[in-house]
Amino acid sequence: MSQALILSIDDHFAYWGAICLDVAGFAVSVMGARAWGATRLSSRLRSYTSCGFAALRQTDLSLLDYVDTYCATHRIEWIVPADLPATLLVARGRNRIKSAKTSAVPDPSLIETWHDKAKFAALLTELGLPTPRTRLVSSEHDPILETLTYPVMAKPPRGEGGNGVRKFDNRAELDALLPRLARRFGWPLLVQDYVPGIDIDLSVMADHGRIAAWTIQKRHPSDPNLLEFVEHPRILALGAELIRRCGYHGVVHFDMRLDERTGEPVFIEANPRFWSSMRHSMWMGVNFPALGIELASGEDPTRRFQPALGLCRDPGLSIKSTFRALVRGHWGPEGLSQASTAGWHSHLRDPLPEIWRRLHGIAMYRQRALL
């Protein structure tokens, strides 16, 4: 059994990256930032090592010497970065790693360009690909503010997870909250024209400028927690053109919108790293972390790739719904799709991380309520 090491500050990405590789038959270790967390509680890991936040965020690459020694000592064959700091670290310094191979990762300059929302929008505009009009605002008195057409979206240029993203319907709303956003995230802030429509996301494993595997997902209109995996030739064609023209290699997740005025998709931002709903793709049969190792091994995933189509939710591990199902003579919650059932069995096999996340969520909710 091949052994792999996940590198990540983000506990969520580390855990689900590890589960994806475990499902693919790897013995998985994790090197993360937290001393404790959901990932450390997993029974499906071979080992967990904490190296601290500062080590994974540093730019002098010295952590990779420790990673190299760790892999040699534990006979680890593959290194798989999960979040942005780890992906950048490995992309910049993979030549320092002699004892293990790295999964497919992009060029570091592309990671930095695509992660920065302003630079990514400028790149799309240069290539003639659809994206909302985007501007950088450098202060509360920037003349650009006089030229905006509302509604607009404001956000930090290098934020993640929707943190700091706000919609403003008029100038008064923007003037009231823009200073608060700047105090939290700093100047400049990015402002984009709002695109009315629905969110739709394209996830890709790219092989030196060509798409080797993909999924396209959107929220189901009846339930925001239910993802619908679909085919959309226009979105796939736009993604393929961007990947080809940049020579992109590795994994990326594009946030897009279907403009209700034209029916056309537009790029909003790119995430050149693992993403939150990657587990849903895995349950649908497209295992992106494992595909990254396949590419780095010289294999061609396109030979076996099948588009993911259908519905999937993360059912968690609800004691109430599980008990109700057992009373009715079933082994799990009823009415789940095949992919959602795979998700439920994943939590059932490894319950402690899910229990930790639920308890942590309750604690954070109570903490916010006291503020």
- Looking at the fold, whether 208 and 224 belong to one and the same domain comes out as yes
Give the CATH number, domain containing residue 20: 3.40.50.20
pLDDT of the residue at 359: 80
Residue finishing a domain among 296, 313, 330: 313
pLDDT of the residue at 332: 67
Confidence of residue 97 (pLDDT cuts 50, 70, 90): very high
Report if residue 171 sits inside a domain: yes
Mean pLDDT of 97-118: 97
pLDDT above 90 (res 370): no
* Tokens, residue 304: 């076996």
Report if residue 169 sits inside a domain: yes
Report if residue 108 sits inside a domain: no
pLDDT of the residue at 152: 98
Report if residue 128 sits inside a domain: no
- Identify whether the C-beta of residue 19 lies closer than 8 Å to the C-beta of residue 279: yes
- Looking at the fold, whether 143 and 216 belong to one and the same domain comes out as no
- Looking at the fold, whether 159 and 219 belong to one and the same domain comes out as no
- Looking at the fold, whether 268 and 344 belong to one and the same domain comes out as no
Residue finishing a domain among 193, 209, 236: 193
Report if residue 218 sits inside a domain: yes
pLDDT of the residue at 313: 94
Mean pLDDT of 336-347: 91
Confidence of residue 333 (pLDDT cuts 50, 70, 90): confident
pLDDT above 60 (res 6): yes
* Span 20-31, pLDDT tens digits: 999 999 999 999
- Looking at the fold, whether 47 and 73 belong to one and the same domain comes out as yes
pLDDT of the residue at 317: 77
Report if residue 126 sits inside a domain: no
* Span 293-319, pLDDT tens digits: 999 999 999 989 999 999 999 998 766
pLDDT of the residue at 324: 67
Domain carrying residue 363: 319-370
pLDDT of the residue at 320: 65
pLDDT of the residue at 29: 97
Beta-bridge partners for 192: 134, 153
Confidence of residue 224 (pLDDT cuts 50, 70, 90): confident
Alpha carbons 113 and 126: distance in angstroms, whole number: 13
- Looking at the fold, whether 214 and 178 belong to one and the same domain comes out as no
pLDDT of the residue at 325: 65
**Residue at 99: amino acid letter:** S
* Span 246-294, pLDDT tens digits: 999 999 999 999 999 999 999 999 999 999 999 999 999 999 999 999 9
- Non-local (6+) Cβ contacts of 250 within 8 A are 87, 103, 104, 105, 106, 205, 206, 272, 292
Residue carrying the six token digits 């519905």: 311
Report if residue 109 sits inside a domain: no
- Looking at the fold, whether 10 and 89 belong to one and the same domain comes out as yes
Question: Average pLDDT of the chain?
Answer: 92
Question: Which whole-number Å values give the CA distances from 262 to 234, 257, 265, 266, in the listed order?
Answer: 13, 11, 9, 10
- Looking at the fold, whether 8 and 39 belong to one and the same domain comes out as yes
pLDDT of the residue at 323: 62
Of 181-195, 243-257, 323-337, the range with the lowest mean pLDDT is 323-337
Task: Give the residue among 299, 262, 289 at the shortest CA–CA distance from 203.
Answer: 289
pLDDT of the residue at 1: 84
Report if residue 114 sits inside a domain: no
Structurally, how many domains does the chain consist of?
4
* Span 186-214, pLDDT tens digits: 999 999 999 999 999 999 999 999 999 99
Confidence of residue 51 (pLDDT cuts 50, 70, 90): confident
- Looking at the fold, whether 231 and 155 belong to one and the same domain comes out as no
Alpha carbons 60 and 232: distance in angstroms, whole number: 42
- Looking at the fold, whether 184 and 216 belong to one and the same domain comes out as no
Residue finishing a domain among 266, 281, 313: 313
* Span 149-165, pLDDT tens digits: 999 999 999 998 889 99
pTM score over 0.75: yes
* Percent of the chain residues past pLDDT 90, beyond the cut: 79
- Looking at the fold, whether 307 and 204 belong to one and the same domain comes out as yes
Give the CATH number, domain containing residue 140: 3.30.1490.20
pLDDT of the residue at 275: 97
Alpha carbons 16 and 10: distance in angstroms, whole number: 10
